[in-house]
Amino acid sequence: VSDGEAAGGSGTAVLSRAAGGRSGHQAGRPEHGDVPRGRWGGRWRPPARGPLPPGAWLVLRAGTRLDRVWSPQLHLVALNSPQPGGMRGIRGADFQCFQQARAAGLAGTFRAFLSSRLQDLYSIVRRADRTGVPVVNLRDEVLFPSWEALFSGSEGQLKPGARIFSFDGRDVLQHPAWPRKSVWHGSDPSGRRLTDSYCETWRTEAPAATGQASSLLAGRLLEQEAASCRHAFVVLCIENSVMTSFSK
């Protein structure tokens, strides 16, 4: 492909940043460091090293459709089965997230969407990725404009029609495998731990013990409902860093 021509067409290919910034690179190889590793649909292999850009790069080819484009995002996905309050602690819940994410072919680091004794829910995502990075479901449909937006005072209000999928691709609101349409979180609306309502650090299924939960039927992830730890609810897993999405 010569300069000024796109592969398979006669137009000009332009590399531009989705979130503003530089534009106007000619067709051909992008500058070193411009393209992040990972989900890339063009012909050029991205550099093995270099900082990730804050916005997506788009490859525009005249006369052709736009191939897959990288953009930063954090996936929020449910475990493949409902869980009672006893999950062998936060480490046990995190391990299930890790195992099922790997089985689904996801490269990111996933952590349980739970507060615990030494962890506030809000702090799970890397500080640099809490703003400006959308939270999406397994099919990359946007659930929240950012991680921080989830804790804005609306109790994690989802937009109408939002869907949450399990790692094996089932819609938890529609599938009978989750008869109780609630999600564990153990947090207040700001994402801080509630030490008297997280099923004894997610280690008990005792009927008298409680864990903070939220009804997905109400369209919220942080509704304040103290539920018996014997109930089996949805457990969500959040990808905790944009960078881990490009480890492959």
| pLDDT tens readout for residues 141-158 | 999 999 999 999 999 999
pLDDT computed for residue 81 by the predictor: 98
Mean of pLDDT values over 160-165: 96
User: Quick check: 6 pLDDT over 70?
Assistant: no
**3-state secondary structure at position 59:** strand
Tell me the C-alpha distance between 192 and 178, whole Å. 26
Residue 71, pLDDT score: 83
Question: Can you count the helices (H) and strands (E) in the chain?
Answer: 2, 11
Spell out the domain ranges in the chain.
1-71, 74-246
Please, where are the H alpha helices in 142-203?
Answer: 199-202
What is the edge-to-edge ordering of all strands in the sheet holding 110-112? 110-112, 236-239, 74-78, 135-136, 142-144
Q: Is the pLDDT of residue 135 over 90?
A: yes
Question: For the domain 74-246, what is the CATH code?
Answer: 3.10.100.10
Cα–Cα distances in Å, from 206 out to 49, 118, 160, 221? Answer: 49, 22, 35, 23
Q: What stretch of H or E contains 107?
A: none
pLDDT in tens, 179-237: 999 999 999 999 999 999 999 999 999 999 999 999 999 999 999 999 999 999 999 99
Question: What's the whole-number average pLDDT of the chain?
Answer: 81
> What six digits make up the tokens of 234?
């949805």
Q: pTM (2 decimals)?
A: 0.72
Q: Would strands 74-78 and 236-239 be described as parallel, antiparallel, or unpaired?
A: antiparallel
Per residue in 37-47, pLDDT (tens digit) is 444 444 444 44
